[in-house]
Amino acid sequence: MNIDKGYVDAPVDPALDLKAEILRLKKEKGAAVLAHYYQQAEIQDIADYIGDSLALARIAATLKEDIIVMCGVHFMGETVKILCPEKKVIVPDLNAGCSLADSCQAPEFGRFIEAHPGHTVISYVNTSAAVKALTDIVVTSGNAKEIVASLPEDEKIIFGPDRNLGNYIKATTGRDMIIWDGACHVHEQFSLEKIAELMKQYPGAELLVHPECKKPLQIMASKVGSTAALLKYAKESPCRQFIVATESGILHQMQKDCPDKEFIPAPPADSTCACNECAFMKLITLTKLYNSLRYELPLVEVDSRLIPLAKRPILRMLELSDKLVK
Ligand code: 13P
Ligand code: SF4
Protein backbone atom coordinates (compact mmCIF):
# COMPACT_ATOMS: atom_id res chain seq x y z
CA MET A 1 0.00 0.00 0.00
CA ASN A 2 1.27 3.41 -0.99
CA ILE A 3 1.95 5.74 1.94
CA ASP A 4 4.05 8.29 0.02
CA LYS A 5 1.81 11.09 1.26
CA GLY A 6 2.39 10.09 4.89
CA TYR A 7 -0.99 8.36 5.18
CA VAL A 8 -2.85 5.56 3.42
CA ASP A 9 -4.38 7.17 0.35
CA ALA A 10 -6.78 4.34 -0.52
CA PRO A 11 -10.26 5.04 -1.91
CA VAL A 12 -13.10 4.69 0.58
CA ASP A 13 -16.70 3.95 -0.43
CA PRO A 14 -18.63 7.14 0.50
CA ALA A 15 -21.63 4.99 1.51
CA LEU A 16 -19.58 3.24 4.21
CA ASP A 17 -20.47 3.84 7.86
CA LEU A 18 -16.94 4.84 8.87
CA LYS A 19 -17.58 4.80 12.62
CA ALA A 20 -19.07 1.29 12.51
CA GLU A 21 -16.18 0.10 10.31
CA ILE A 22 -13.58 1.56 12.67
CA LEU A 23 -15.22 -0.17 15.63
CA ARG A 24 -15.35 -3.47 13.68
CA LEU A 25 -11.68 -3.27 12.63
CA LYS A 26 -10.54 -2.31 16.13
CA LYS A 27 -12.22 -5.42 17.52
CA GLU A 28 -11.21 -7.76 14.68
CA LYS A 29 -7.54 -6.75 14.87
CA GLY A 30 -7.31 -6.29 18.64
CA ALA A 31 -6.15 -2.69 18.26
CA ALA A 32 -6.29 0.11 20.84
CA VAL A 33 -7.04 3.66 19.69
CA LEU A 34 -5.68 6.53 21.80
CA ALA A 35 -6.63 10.17 21.18
CA HIS A 36 -5.36 13.48 22.54
CA TYR A 37 -7.86 16.10 23.70
CA TYR A 38 -6.96 18.28 20.70
CA GLN A 39 -8.30 15.74 18.21
CA GLN A 40 -11.49 16.34 16.24
CA ALA A 41 -14.60 15.53 18.32
CA GLU A 42 -15.50 12.45 16.24
CA ILE A 43 -12.02 10.99 16.75
CA GLN A 44 -12.20 11.60 20.51
CA ASP A 45 -15.61 9.92 20.62
CA ILE A 46 -14.46 6.74 18.86
CA ALA A 47 -11.19 6.32 20.80
CA ASP A 48 -10.70 3.72 23.53
CA TYR A 49 -8.74 6.22 25.61
CA ILE A 50 -8.52 10.00 25.54
CA GLY A 51 -6.19 12.14 27.60
CA ASP A 52 -3.40 14.67 27.88
CA SER A 53 0.18 13.77 26.98
CA LEU A 54 0.86 12.39 30.47
CA ALA A 55 -2.25 10.19 30.58
CA LEU A 56 -1.59 8.86 27.07
CA ALA A 57 2.01 7.92 27.93
CA ARG A 58 0.86 6.26 31.15
CA ILE A 59 -1.83 4.28 29.30
CA ALA A 60 0.49 3.29 26.44
CA ALA A 61 2.93 1.76 28.91
CA THR A 62 0.26 -0.65 30.18
CA LEU A 63 -1.61 -1.68 27.01
CA LYS A 64 -1.95 -5.37 26.11
CA GLU A 65 -2.94 -4.81 22.46
CA ASP A 66 -0.34 -5.47 19.73
CA ILE A 67 -1.58 -2.64 17.50
CA ILE A 68 -1.76 0.86 18.98
CA VAL A 69 -3.17 3.72 16.92
CA MET A 70 -2.19 7.12 18.31
CA CYS A 71 -4.54 9.84 17.13
CA GLY A 72 -2.30 12.73 17.97
CA VAL A 73 0.96 14.12 16.65
CA HIS A 74 4.13 12.30 15.64
CA PHE A 75 6.09 12.69 18.90
CA MET A 76 3.18 11.05 20.75
CA GLY A 77 3.43 8.05 18.42
CA GLU A 78 7.20 7.98 18.98
CA THR A 79 6.69 7.96 22.75
CA VAL A 80 4.43 4.90 22.41
CA LYS A 81 6.92 3.16 20.08
CA ILE A 82 9.79 3.86 22.50
CA LEU A 83 7.75 2.38 25.37
CA CYS A 84 6.52 -0.61 23.32
CA PRO A 85 9.07 -1.21 20.52
CA GLU A 86 7.74 -4.69 19.76
CA LYS A 87 4.26 -3.34 18.88
CA LYS A 88 2.84 -1.91 15.69
CA VAL A 89 2.40 1.79 16.47
CA ILE A 90 0.40 3.80 13.96
CA VAL A 91 -0.20 7.55 13.60
CA PRO A 92 -2.88 7.82 10.86
CA ASP A 93 -1.10 10.75 9.22
CA LEU A 94 2.67 11.01 9.74
CA ASN A 95 2.55 14.66 8.64
CA ALA A 96 1.07 15.48 12.05
CA GLY A 97 4.15 17.22 13.42
CA CYS A 98 4.60 19.81 16.16
CA SER A 99 6.10 23.29 15.84
CA LEU A 100 7.39 23.08 19.41
CA ALA A 101 9.20 19.76 18.84
CA ASP A 102 10.58 21.22 15.58
CA SER A 103 11.94 24.25 17.46
CA CYS A 104 14.49 21.99 19.15
CA GLN A 105 16.68 19.91 16.85
CA ALA A 106 18.91 17.27 18.49
CA PRO A 107 22.32 18.48 17.17
CA GLU A 108 21.74 22.06 18.45
CA PHE A 109 20.28 20.80 21.71
CA GLY A 110 23.33 18.55 22.13
CA ARG A 111 25.64 21.58 21.71
CA PHE A 112 23.50 23.56 24.20
CA ILE A 113 23.94 20.76 26.76
CA GLU A 114 27.70 20.62 26.11
CA ALA A 115 27.94 24.37 26.65
CA HIS A 116 26.34 24.00 30.13
CA PRO A 117 28.04 21.08 31.85
CA GLY A 118 26.85 19.86 35.26
CA HIS A 119 23.16 20.39 34.51
CA THR A 120 20.30 17.89 34.72
CA VAL A 121 18.55 17.86 31.36
CA ILE A 122 14.76 18.02 31.53
CA SER A 123 12.82 17.85 28.26
CA TYR A 124 9.18 18.35 27.60
CA VAL A 125 7.50 15.33 25.99
CA ASN A 126 6.93 17.50 22.87
CA THR A 127 10.35 16.53 21.49
CA SER A 128 11.79 14.05 19.01
CA ALA A 129 13.18 10.67 20.10
CA ALA A 130 16.68 12.05 19.36
CA VAL A 131 16.18 14.93 21.83
CA LYS A 132 14.74 12.56 24.43
CA ALA A 133 17.88 10.43 24.03
CA LEU A 134 19.93 13.45 25.26
CA THR A 135 17.64 13.94 28.26
CA ASP A 136 17.77 12.88 31.93
CA ILE A 137 14.05 13.25 32.71
CA VAL A 138 11.11 13.79 30.34
CA VAL A 139 8.18 15.85 31.66
CA THR A 140 4.74 16.89 30.44
CA SER A 141 2.77 19.98 31.36
CA GLY A 142 0.89 17.69 33.77
CA ASN A 143 3.93 16.85 35.92
CA ALA A 144 6.74 19.34 35.13
CA LYS A 145 6.21 21.45 38.26
CA GLU A 146 6.09 18.47 40.62
CA ILE A 147 9.10 16.76 39.03
CA VAL A 148 11.29 19.88 39.03
CA ALA A 149 10.27 20.70 42.63
CA SER A 150 11.19 17.15 43.73
CA LEU A 151 14.84 17.61 42.67
CA PRO A 152 17.45 18.80 45.21
CA GLU A 153 17.23 22.58 45.64
CA ASP A 154 20.77 23.26 44.39
CA GLU A 155 20.40 21.12 41.23
CA LYS A 156 21.20 23.02 38.04
CA ILE A 157 18.66 22.35 35.33
CA ILE A 158 18.50 22.69 31.55
CA PHE A 159 14.86 22.82 30.44
CA GLY A 160 13.74 22.47 26.84
CA PRO A 161 12.18 23.26 24.53
CA ASP A 162 9.20 25.41 25.62
CA ARG A 163 10.25 28.85 26.96
CA ASN A 164 6.80 29.67 28.37
CA LEU A 165 6.38 26.41 30.28
CA GLY A 166 10.05 26.62 31.32
CA ASN A 167 9.72 30.15 32.69
CA TYR A 168 6.47 29.22 34.44
CA ILE A 169 8.17 26.26 36.17
CA LYS A 170 11.22 28.37 37.02
CA ALA A 171 9.00 31.06 38.61
CA THR A 172 6.80 28.62 40.54
CA THR A 173 9.62 26.39 41.85
CA GLY A 174 12.37 29.04 42.19
CA ARG A 175 14.88 26.59 40.68
CA ASP A 176 18.10 27.38 38.82
CA MET A 177 17.03 26.75 35.22
CA ILE A 178 18.52 27.51 31.81
CA ILE A 179 15.72 27.46 29.26
CA TRP A 180 15.79 26.59 25.55
CA ASP A 181 14.13 29.28 23.43
CA GLY A 182 11.38 27.25 21.75
CA ALA A 183 7.62 27.71 21.56
CA CYS A 184 4.34 26.33 20.22
CA HIS A 185 2.94 28.52 17.43
CA VAL A 186 -0.65 27.74 18.52
CA HIS A 187 -0.29 28.66 22.19
CA GLU A 188 1.80 31.78 21.51
CA GLN A 189 -0.83 33.07 19.11
CA PHE A 190 -3.58 33.99 21.57
CA SER A 191 -4.58 37.62 21.50
CA LEU A 192 -4.35 39.33 24.89
CA GLU A 193 -6.59 42.17 23.65
CA LYS A 194 -9.34 39.88 22.35
CA ILE A 195 -9.23 37.83 25.55
CA ALA A 196 -9.46 41.00 27.67
CA GLU A 197 -12.55 41.95 25.61
CA LEU A 198 -14.08 38.53 26.25
CA MET A 199 -13.43 38.92 29.97
CA LYS A 200 -15.39 42.21 29.88
CA GLN A 201 -18.18 40.51 27.94
CA TYR A 202 -18.29 37.56 30.42
CA PRO A 203 -17.38 39.23 33.75
CA GLY A 204 -18.16 36.10 35.78
CA ALA A 205 -16.07 33.77 33.62
CA GLU A 206 -12.81 32.17 34.76
CA LEU A 207 -9.83 32.15 32.38
CA LEU A 208 -8.15 28.75 31.88
CA VAL A 209 -4.65 28.91 30.38
CA HIS A 210 -2.18 26.27 29.16
CA PRO A 211 1.42 26.90 30.35
CA GLU A 212 2.65 26.96 26.72
CA CYS A 213 0.91 30.39 26.49
CA LYS A 214 2.87 33.60 27.06
CA LYS A 215 3.39 34.97 30.59
CA PRO A 216 0.91 37.93 30.46
CA LEU A 217 -1.88 35.45 29.74
CA GLN A 218 -0.72 33.13 32.52
CA ILE A 219 -0.85 36.07 34.95
CA MET A 220 -4.49 36.80 34.03
CA ALA A 221 -5.56 33.15 34.51
CA SER A 222 -7.68 31.59 37.25
CA LYS A 223 -5.90 28.33 36.46
CA VAL A 224 -2.71 27.48 34.54
CA GLY A 225 -2.37 23.79 33.73
CA SER A 226 -2.17 20.91 31.29
CA THR A 227 -5.27 20.04 29.28
CA ALA A 228 -6.25 17.41 31.87
CA ALA A 229 -5.68 19.87 34.74
CA LEU A 230 -7.85 22.52 33.02
CA LEU A 231 -10.59 19.95 32.46
CA LYS A 232 -10.46 18.89 36.12
CA TYR A 233 -10.56 22.51 37.26
CA ALA A 234 -13.61 23.25 35.07
CA LYS A 235 -15.43 20.25 36.52
CA GLU A 236 -14.68 21.16 40.13
CA SER A 237 -15.13 24.95 39.99
CA PRO A 238 -18.48 26.40 41.07
CA CYS A 239 -18.15 28.88 38.19
CA ARG A 240 -20.53 28.44 35.19
CA GLN A 241 -18.51 30.12 32.43
CA PHE A 242 -14.91 29.63 31.29
CA ILE A 243 -12.72 31.27 28.67
CA VAL A 244 -10.36 28.56 27.47
CA ALA A 245 -6.88 29.50 26.20
CA THR A 246 -5.56 26.29 24.75
CA GLU A 247 -6.22 24.37 21.53
CA SER A 248 -9.98 24.37 21.05
CA GLY A 249 -10.31 20.56 20.75
CA ILE A 250 -10.42 20.37 24.57
CA LEU A 251 -13.77 22.19 24.57
CA HIS A 252 -15.47 19.03 23.29
CA GLN A 253 -14.57 17.07 26.43
CA MET A 254 -15.23 20.04 28.71
CA GLN A 255 -18.71 20.44 27.27
CA LYS A 256 -19.38 16.69 27.50
CA ASP A 257 -18.26 16.52 31.14
CA CYS A 258 -19.99 19.77 32.17
CA PRO A 259 -23.16 20.07 30.01
CA ASP A 260 -24.59 22.84 32.19
CA LYS A 261 -21.50 25.08 31.95
CA GLU A 262 -20.42 27.39 29.13
CA PHE A 263 -16.99 27.21 27.50
CA ILE A 264 -15.79 30.09 25.35
CA PRO A 265 -12.72 29.46 23.16
CA ALA A 266 -10.03 32.15 23.40
CA PRO A 267 -9.31 33.66 19.97
CA PRO A 268 -5.94 33.95 18.27
CA ALA A 269 -4.49 37.24 17.01
CA ASP A 270 -4.33 37.89 13.22
CA SER A 271 -7.41 35.86 12.45
CA THR A 272 -11.13 36.25 12.11
CA CYS A 273 -11.57 32.79 13.69
CA ALA A 274 -13.07 32.64 17.16
CA CYS A 275 -10.93 29.70 18.27
CA ASN A 276 -7.36 28.50 17.98
CA GLU A 277 -6.66 25.14 16.33
CA CYS A 278 -3.49 23.08 15.87
CA ALA A 279 -3.52 22.21 12.17
CA PHE A 280 -1.24 19.22 12.87
CA MET A 281 -3.69 17.69 15.34
CA LYS A 282 -6.57 18.22 12.92
CA LEU A 283 -4.82 16.23 10.14
CA ILE A 284 -6.23 13.04 11.67
CA THR A 285 -9.64 12.30 10.16
CA LEU A 286 -12.05 9.38 10.42
CA THR A 287 -11.12 8.32 6.86
CA LYS A 288 -7.39 8.26 7.69
CA LEU A 289 -8.09 6.40 10.95
CA TYR A 290 -10.21 3.86 9.06
CA ASN A 291 -7.57 3.29 6.38
CA SER A 292 -4.80 3.06 8.97
CA LEU A 293 -6.66 0.26 10.77
CA ARG A 294 -7.51 -1.44 7.49
CA TYR A 295 -3.91 -1.57 6.22
CA GLU A 296 -2.09 -1.31 9.60
CA LEU A 297 -0.15 1.65 8.20
CA PRO A 298 1.60 4.08 8.42
CA LEU A 299 3.89 2.76 11.12
CA VAL A 300 5.90 4.97 13.45
CA GLU A 301 9.54 3.90 13.37
CA VAL A 302 12.25 4.92 15.83
CA ASP A 303 15.94 4.16 15.27
CA SER A 304 16.62 1.06 17.42
CA ARG A 305 19.84 2.66 18.76
CA LEU A 306 17.82 5.59 20.15
CA ILE A 307 15.13 3.48 21.84
CA PRO A 308 16.99 2.51 25.06
CA LEU A 309 18.41 6.05 25.40
CA ALA A 310 15.02 7.72 24.92
CA LYS A 311 13.16 5.14 27.02
CA ARG A 312 15.21 5.76 30.19
CA PRO A 313 14.06 9.42 30.71
CA ILE A 314 10.45 8.52 29.84
CA LEU A 315 10.43 5.68 32.39
CA ARG A 316 12.00 8.05 34.92
CA MET A 317 9.10 10.45 34.27
CA LEU A 318 6.48 7.71 34.70
CA GLU A 319 8.11 6.53 37.91
CA LEU A 320 8.27 10.08 39.38
CA SER A 321 4.74 10.87 38.18
CA ASP A 322 3.34 7.81 39.91
CA LYS A 323 4.84 9.11 43.15
CA LEU A 324 4.15 12.83 42.73
CA VAL A 325 1.03 13.29 40.55
CA LYS A 326 -2.34 11.76 41.32
P1 13P B 1 -0.94 18.44 27.30
O2 13P B 1 -2.05 17.61 26.78
O3 13P B 1 0.08 17.60 27.98
O4 13P B 1 -1.40 19.56 28.12
O5 13P B 1 -0.14 18.98 26.03
C6 13P B 1 -0.50 19.99 25.22
C7 13P B 1 0.09 19.93 23.89
O8 13P B 1 0.38 20.92 23.31
C9 13P B 1 0.24 18.65 23.27
O10 13P B 1 0.82 18.85 22.09
FE1 SF4 C 1 2.70 20.99 19.06
FE2 SF4 C 1 1.48 23.22 19.72
FE3 SF4 C 1 0.21 21.48 18.16
FE4 SF4 C 1 0.66 20.91 20.77
S5 SF4 C 1 -0.64 22.53 19.97
S6 SF4 C 1 0.98 19.56 19.01
S7 SF4 C 1 2.64 21.91 21.09
S8 SF4 C 1 2.08 22.61 17.64
Atom of ligand 2 nearest to the CA of 96: 6
| Domain at 18-95+280-304: CATH architecture | 3-Layer(aba) Sandwich (3.40)
* pLDDT single digits (tens) 47-73: 999 999 989 999 999 999 999 999 999
Mean pLDDT of 282-286: 98
Please name which ligand lies nearest the alpha carbon of 99: 2
- Distance (angstroms) between ligand 2 centre and the Cα of 93 equals 15
Average pLDDT, the chain: 96
pLDDT band at 165 (very low <50, low <70, confident <90, very high): very high
Task: Using CB atoms within 10 Å of the CB of residue 302, give its burial: 0 to 12 exposed, 13 to 18 middle, 19+ buried.
Answer: buried
Which among 34, 36, 74 is the best mutation to test ligand 1's pocket, defined by most ligand atoms within 8 Å of the CB? 36
The CATH number of 100-183+308-325 is 3.40.50.10800
Residue 210's pLDDT is what?
97
Tell me the sheet residues that pair with 242. 206, 263
What residues does each domain of the chain span?
18-95+280-304, 100-183+308-325, 190-265
- Distance (angstroms) between ligand 2 centre and the Cα of 249 equals 12
Alpha carbon distances (Å) from 59 to 80, 95, 196, 239 = 9, 24, 38, 31
Helix (H, G, I), strand (E, B) or coil at 317: helix
pLDDT band at 274 (very low <50, low <70, confident <90, very high): confident
The topology under which CATH files domain 190-265 is Rossmann fold (3.40.50)
Measured from CB, residues less than 6 Å from any atom of ligand 1 are: 52-54, 126, 140-142, 184, 212, 226-227
pLDDT above 90 for 268: no
- Distance (angstroms) between ligand 1 centre and the Cα of 319 equals 20
Residue 275's pLDDT is what?
76
Residue 163's pLDDT is what?
98
**18-95+280-304 and 100-183+308-325 have identical folds:** yes
* pLDDT single digits (tens) 178-206: 999 999 999 999 999 999 999 999 999 99
